A and B are shown apart, each in its own frame.
Chain A
């Protein structure tokens, strides 16, 4: 256990620095910045647009629905994929370390950067939306705590998605393709179908987290509020549970996994 913790920490620290230098992270940062950027552009428009609509539409449709799974696939697939593509995993697999720590340590570094980026983006979006002219009707005011809920939902979404997509890297040679397939068929399709199948997606729990706190605020955006949403605490438990189970499965598989690398 001590070896696992020590190796996880070493890999986390080393990979955190490398993640910040990686070009893919700059691409992700650009994508994550789109929501606040678009909000800022809309804010320059002479037309009267409600800040609440900008916050909820961009926050849900762009950040939660599209960017969270997309960025998580790009970053998560690279957690092991980068070591395999660069053929540097040999150096890790022939060291006296706990193998699961390779997945966990590297994922933690990626998740730290993703969570920070998404939280910052959501906070910025909330801040820009708050600068819009106040609406004539009070029911369109941005409720206190809505930005915080969006920050939390974004962070939880990328935390869980990245754990799942990192684990795919243990099993598949091309986790990016598998991850994209999953994100846009299962998450994109199933989460929007009515019925209990929604509960098979990560999106469902993220939506429950959002909707349970400010259901009225999200009413203007289609598909956000599930018919029978779980409360926030239940949603968080589910999301953390999915992430932990995914990582545990990947970590266990990695213990005996062999990778055939060519010169």
Chain B
């Protein structure tokens, strides 16, 4: 199996005034890919678009060469494990998966066979005849994964599938997705914990505030972020004197002073060292720093948060 799994071009999605995803241009190959980003980064919105649950507000998206929204052809070839815990509470695990398999067009016997097989695969074999209402959070996750893989899809889209699982459960589900990947299934998994994905794949897509931040192998993304200069915006009573001192620092890439309002724009590779040096310089020279803002500092914070 080769070829593009999905292609997004200037994809955007708004919820009223709230931006869920903005201007995303991205292409993914078949295989296992992890979507990483903090809560609210736009991962779920992206996966809902990929799964065909919602429509884009702008731009285009193709998954397996198809426009996803309400596309039965795609639904036959893909399985979706949504983030919400919801399942049919009054039905047993077996009834839920069997019912959904029947909706896929399988006959009663085949649907039962597939449901049993999928439930065994996710480790819910013993609980298949228990009502979902009595399932723990981890068991619900397993049941949700079972319904997403039972029909043998080419692509599985799983939104935060490790939530609520204990460490053993996480390891088991990671192994399951990895195995599915080896069997030729493409897997798109989202998480806000990077090491969960690292155990599964090295191909990641990093989201932040509804935008694509980086894409590629984990190590490359890490390097990319560390090579990316951070911008710091400063205001001081004596901007030129401060700028002269800052430009001497070897980890400062550039210093610009705006003629109009004296704002200083600094670019640095090492934000932490820069802040330490700035504190020292401000104290020594008494240049009266009045404001300090770093728009890019959050990139570091995002990644630190993810790898923590």
Contact = CB atoms under 8 A, between A and B. Distances in A.
Contacts of A7: 103
Interface stretch (A87-95, A107-115, A224-232): A87-95
Interface in A1-54: 6-7, 10, 14, 18, 21-22
B72 interface: yes
A174 B100 CA distance: 27
Given A90-B53, A94-B52, A263-B44, A258 B82 contact: no
Given A90-B82, A95-B104, A97-B72, A21 B88 contact: no
B147 interface: yes
A9 B191 CA distance: 38
B84 A263 contact: yes
B57 to A, nearest CB: 11
B292 to A, nearest CB: 36
Most buried by B among A88, A93, A96: A96
Contacts of A96: 72-73, 75-76, 103-105
Nearest to B103: A95
B88 A18 contact: yes
Contacts of A260: 15, 54
A86 interface: yes
A5 to B, nearest CB: 13
B69 A94 contact: no
- Name the interface size band of chain A: 20 to 34
Contacts of A97: 72, 103
Contact of B55 (A22, A86, A95, A258): A258
Interface string B67-92: 00110110110101011101111110
Given A18-B91, A256-B70, A94 B53 contact: yes
A43 B89 CA distance: 43
B83 A88 contact: no
B51 interface: yes
Contacts of B44: 263
A86 B89 contact: yes
B102 interface: yes
A99 B86 contact: no
A87 B140 CA distance: 14
Contacts of B86: 86-88, 90
Contacts of B159: 263
Contacts of B55: 258
A196 interface: no
A255 B99 CA distance: 21
B147 to A, nearest CB: 7
Contact of B80 (A21, A90, A256): A90
Contact of B99 (A14, A90, A262): A14
A261 interface: yes
A260 to B, nearest CB: 6
A92 B234 CA distance: 53
B90 A18 contact: yes
Given A90-B53, A99-B70, A260-B54, 10 more contacts: A22-B90, A94-B51, A94-B52, A94-B75, A96-B73, A97-B103, A255-B70, A259-B53, A263-B83, A263-B160
Interface of B: 15, 44, 51-55, 69-70, 72-73, 75-76, 78, 80, 82-84, 86-91, 99-100, 102-105, 147, 159-160
